[in-house]
Structure 1
Amino acid sequence: MGAAQAQSASGHFRYGTARLAVQHAVAVAEEPTDLAEQRRTLVFLSAAPLDAQRIAAAFDPLDAVREQAPPGGFVRICITADGNECGLFYSPEGFNSGGYGELQLQRHQAAAVAGRWALAEGDFLGTPYDFDLRFDAPVVPAPGNALPAGGGAPGAAYSAWLAALAQGDVAALRRMGGEDARWRFPEDDPGTVKESLKSLRDGEPVQAVIARGRQHGDEVVLWVEGVDRDEIRRRGRVLMRRDASGWHRVESDLESVE
């Protein structure tokens, strides 16, 4: 289905002398943590069609839109589970805004979202901007099959990777680290190994409770929670990928929990 799933959009976003006239809308669901109240709807507005399925399947939907390089850029609208705005982003300027203008939703459901967000006049460090954005689109869910608590084989691989990381077991990390392990843990560069251990440990739990997962082909997203080495509780998502040697941790998106 891809780009054909994009529905209607109209209006504009102006930042200084740059102006984007939007004609297409794609909406996807985002679950930054396993808590239902933190789920969000992301609406991407552009002048040309975008591949909705590709965006919905991405670990980072924003990156998936950037990779498609829509002419003139794009606008991302973030809507919280309770129907409030959680920010507006405009590319290519890299402009972020929140709390300005008026968001009115005509529909805010799991399957579809429609509304208008407008600001007649704004100023950011001397640069004027304004927008009037209308959108109506189905919310495209992330593809894949649900995994139970524990995350199955990918969850076990992540737990084993965390244990090796906590213990500083470099030999195990080389086996479990996938292609990244070649440059993270070179056998002839102990300095790089030390820096890699420190970098990977920062913000990663020592142990994790895996609430559930979602598998799409050779990729799995795990929703996890745990305490890191600094006794800070972390909650969020982990991307796992499978190759010929098994499941490997690719990326984490974890936030501190107050």
Structure 2
Amino acid sequence: MGDSQGIRNGPNALALAAALIAAALIGTNAKAQGGSGYFRYADARLALKHAVAVSEEPTDRADERRTLVFLSAEPLDAAAIAAAFDAADAVRDQKPAGGYVRVCIAADGSECGLYYSPEGFNSGGYGELSLQRNEPAHIAGRWLLAKGDFLGTPYDYDLRFDTPIVPAPGSDLPAGGGAPGAAYNAWLDALAKGDVAALRRMGGEDARWRFPDDDPGTVKESLKSLRDGEPLRAQISRGRQHADQAVLWVEGVDRDDIRRRGRVLMRRSAAGWQHVESDLDSVDE
């Protein structure tokens, strides 16, 4: 009995107690990781159990970067979301049961809105957002609204998240965007000149229906719609390539002398680098 008492009350007992406390804390922190809470809209209530966070860079300006947190009832593929040109599209493609909530957090730590699917409900400026961590690699916080009303429809939410920010995959491209950058500017040149044959080669899969051989009216409309909002020539500040996909951060002036800034998605095929999509906004000079 004496030896047993010594183990319970001596130095070994203190070490054992410390280990048990540490294990308990680790378990508590593990449970805190991810997402929890709920979102209620009318009679629909989504219980949240998981969270994924990614960084969104709509332009090359650091003050315009955002963190997007997606909360859901079931796990989401974080790697696919981080690799996507449009993170929300990647989440929708995964079709999480019951939908999802997207929380937007601006570079300065303020909220830049939330979105609730499947209702297609957007909101911002309501409730209270508090962040416990807001770091390049991790985000943790809570956004609470006890009572809200949208055109007579009640809603409320308690959104909690504590999760790493999954980085976009890939490696940096050389100055000017390398081969994808050169291909984008070549596509812009062909667009400005109305070189339909070149646009068919460099326009990816969409070129098949945008520039049909037997429909000059569709070709004319496609040229007009594509020219709207695209710069005549792009300054490419940087780029990132992942496998056969590249994202370019670009800026330039369009045919209406409006400065455009944003991102461009390029994809490599057997025919070379092809333009897929542009996400450009007008900016003040």
Select the residue among 222, 233, 250 that pairs with 2:248: 222
Q: CA offsets, 1:125-148, max 9 Å, x none?
A: 111100011100000010000112
Greater Cα shift, 237-246 or 177-186? 177-186
CA distance in 2, matches of 1:180, 1:127: 41
Select the residue among 79, 83, 95 that pairs with 1:69: 95
Greater Cα shift, 138-147 or 180-189? 180-189
Greater Cα shift, 168-177 or 72-81? 168-177
State the partner residue of 1:35: 61
CA distance in 2, matches of 1:184, 1:136: 45
1:85 and 2:104 are equivalent in the alignment: no
CA distance in 2, matches of 1:251, 1:17: 38
| Moved beyond 6 Å, runs of 4+ | none
Greater Cα shift, 229-238 or 170-179? 170-179
Select the residue among 238, 243, 252 that pairs with 2:269: 243
CA distance in 2, matches of 1:193, 1:253: 22
1:7 and 1:26 in contact (8 A); partners too:
no
Q: CA offsets, 1:29-77, max 9 Å, x none?
A: 1110000111110000000000000000000000000010111100000
For the pair shown, which has the larger CA radius of gyration, 1 or 2? Answer: 2
Richer in helix (by share) = 2
Unaligned runs of 5+ in 2: 1-31
What is the aligned-residue RMSD (CA, Å)?
1.0
1:84-163 alignment runs, 5 A limit: 84-163=110-189
The one-letter amino acid of 1:24's match is: H
Percent same amino acid among aligned pairs?
Answer: 78
1:206 and 2:232 are equivalent in the alignment: yes
State the partner residue of 2:198: 172
CA distance in 2, matches of 1:189, 1:204: 23
CA distance in 2, matches of 1:126, 1:202: 39
The one-letter amino acid of 1:239's match is: L
The one-letter amino acid of 2:64's match is: Q
Deviation at 1:176, TM superposition (A): 1.4
Q: CA offsets, 1:208-246, max 9 Å, x none?
A: 100010000000000000111111111000000000010
1:257 and 2:269 are equivalent in the alignment: no
CA distance in 1, matches of 2:105, 2:175: 27
Deviation at 1:7, TM superposition (A): 3.9
Richer in strand (by share) = 1
Aligned length: 253
Unaligned runs of 5+ in 1: 1-5
State the partner residue of 1:233: 259
TM-score normalised by L of structure 2: 0.87
What secondary structure, in the 3-state scheme, does the structure 2 residue paired with 1:71 have?
Answer: coil
